[in-house]
């Protein structure tokens, strides 16, 4: 059974069903193991102490005596379910005719990843049941509060101000309308998005400042001491991935600016890299240098820009793709 490890009530339901069928439970996935361990310590999950089996010992039990609870119901690439589907889990292996239950609804955007995992499960001979759209199998119900339950919480708490969180904007707006219907002052019901600042004064919301702080994904380079990867670096990496890179090497006389050697072109990951196209780009670079005056050819910045424009333009004429061009100008 694949599900969110934080849904303790559903974990209890699966544990109860497993014990009714005289099956032991195997927990896979770090969040599943952590949450269940905490729930057992706090008494939120009730079962005999020997109900669980370590993953390392699962191979000593017949498959009909086990139930596996794992994470990965949203198609996460390195989750326990993904590794089971690919046969990469170090201790537990799925067998033909094993039943896999996806106790979740697909979050929009995860459809393709989850579909790939289901394909791998079916290739291994597993039977898959899910509560996804269009399915008639009653294996899942939402763990989110319905409107009536949200109204009950508001009636119990009686807030002076209300800021709905978690969900798409249309869902936040609906939640705010529920609070207004419960008697919360409409002026005190605020819908704030990521990056907005909500200013509080004397226990009241006095202002909402849009886009007050930076918010969103932050890309870190693990090989660079987790340094922040800025937008420029991301654009460069995307361009390299899509079109490749051409290095244009040119050696100039440091006094006259005349071409001593080159231009020479070296391509990495560039489509259509043949002799004729390289010759065209090389000639375009020479023509661009010829158009520069003697004084301009001693200015590295102007020479590099001329080479970059000429090579990119020549390449686009042939393949409709302009690779990243790195001009290297040396003096002798």
Work out the pLDDT band at 204, boundaries 50, 70, 90. confident
pLDDT tens digits for range 31-61: 999 999 999 999 999 999 889 999 999 989 9
pLDDT tens digits for range 276-297: 778 888 888 888 888 877 777 7
Q: Considering only residues 177 and 254, tell me which one the structure prediction assigns the higher pLDDT.
A: 177
- Bond from prior residue into 263 cis (ω within 30 degrees of 0): yes
Q: Looking at residues 57-70, what average pLDDT do you find?
A: 91
Contacts of residue 189, Cβ cutoff 8 Å, sequence gap at least 6? 161, 162, 163, 164, 176, 179, 180
Biggest CA-to-CA distance, the chain: 91
The pLDDT value given to residue 218: 73
Q: Considering only residues 79 and 130, tell me which one the structure prediction assigns the higher pLDDT.
A: 79
Please report, to the nearest 10 degrees, the dihedral formed by the alpha carbons of residues 72, 74, 75, 79 taken in order. Answer: -20
299 has pLDDT over 90: no
Contacts of residue 277, Cβ cutoff 8 Å, sequence gap at least 6? 315, 318, 319
Contacts of residue 191, Cβ cutoff 8 Å, sequence gap at least 6? 163, 164, 169, 172, 173, 176
DSSP 8-state class, residue 71? S
Percent above pLDDT 90 for the chain: 34
Percent above pLDDT 70 for the chain: 92
Q: Looking at residues 66-85, what average pLDDT do you find?
A: 91
Cα 313 from chain centroid? 35
* Least confident span in 14-18, 111-115, 219-223, 233-237: 219-223
Which among 69, 1, 74 has a CA at the least distance from the CA of 30? Answer: 69
Q: What is d(CA 250, CA 285) in angstroms, rounded to the nearest whole number?
A: 9
Question: What is each CA distance from 151 to 147, 169, 178, 188, 204, in whole angstroms?
Answer: 6, 19, 6, 16, 21
- The two beta strands, 24-28 and 66-70, are parallel
Work out the pLDDT band at 318, boundaries 50, 70, 90. low
Q: Looking at residues 187-199, what average pLDDT do you find?
A: 88
Tokens of 306: 């001329």
Q: What is d(CA 230, CA 219) in angstroms, rounded to the nearest whole number?
A: 8
Q: What is the CA radius of gyration of the chain?
A: 31
The pLDDT value given to residue 207: 79
104 has pLDDT over 70: yes
Q: What is d(CA 114, CA 71) in angstroms, rounded to the nearest whole number?
A: 12
The pLDDT value given to residue 227: 64
Please tell me the pTM assigned to this model. 0.59
136 has pLDDT over 60: no
């Amino acid at each position: 059974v694949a599900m969110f490890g934080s849904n303790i009530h559903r974990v209890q339901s699966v544990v109860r069903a497993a014990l009714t069928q005289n099956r032991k439970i195997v927990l896979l996935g770090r969040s599943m193991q952590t949450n269940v361990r905490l729930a057992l310590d706090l008494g939120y999950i009730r079962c005999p102490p020997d109900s669980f089996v370590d993953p390392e010992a699962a191979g000593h039990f017949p498959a009909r005596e086990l139930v596996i609870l794992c994470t990965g119901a949203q198609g996460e690439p390195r989750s326990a379910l993904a590794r089971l589907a690919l046969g990469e889990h170090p201790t537990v292996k799925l067998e033909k005719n094993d039943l896999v239950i996806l106790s979740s609804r697909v979050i929009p955007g995860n459809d393709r990843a989850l579909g790939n995992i289901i394909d791998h499960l079916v290739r291994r001979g597993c039977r898959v049941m899910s509560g996804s759209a269009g399915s008639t199998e009653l294996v899942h119900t939402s763990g989110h509060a319905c409107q009536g339950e949200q109204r009950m919480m508001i009636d119990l708490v009686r807030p002076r101000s209300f800021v709905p969180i978690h969900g798409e904007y249309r869902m936040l707006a609906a939640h705010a309308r529920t609070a207004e219907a419960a008697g919360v002052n409409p002026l005190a019901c605020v819908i704030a998005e990521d990056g907005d600042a909500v200013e509080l004064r004397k226990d009241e919301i006095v202002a909402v400042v849009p886009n007050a702080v930076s918010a969103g994904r932050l890309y870190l380079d693990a090989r660079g001491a987790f340094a922040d990867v800025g937008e420029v670096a991301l654009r460069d990496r995307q361009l390299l991935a899509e079109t490749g890179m051409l290095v244009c090497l040119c050696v100039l006389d440091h006094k006259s600016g005349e071409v001593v050697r080159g231009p020479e072109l070296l391509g990495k990951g560039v489509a259509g890299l043949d002799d004729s196209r390289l010759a065209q780009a090389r000639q375009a670079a020479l023509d661009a240098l010829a158009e520069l005056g003697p004084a301009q050819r001693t200015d590295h910045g102007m020479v590099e820009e001329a080479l970059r424009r000429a090579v990119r333009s020549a390449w686009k004429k042939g393949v409709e793709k302009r690779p990243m061009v790195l001009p290297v100008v040396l003096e002798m």
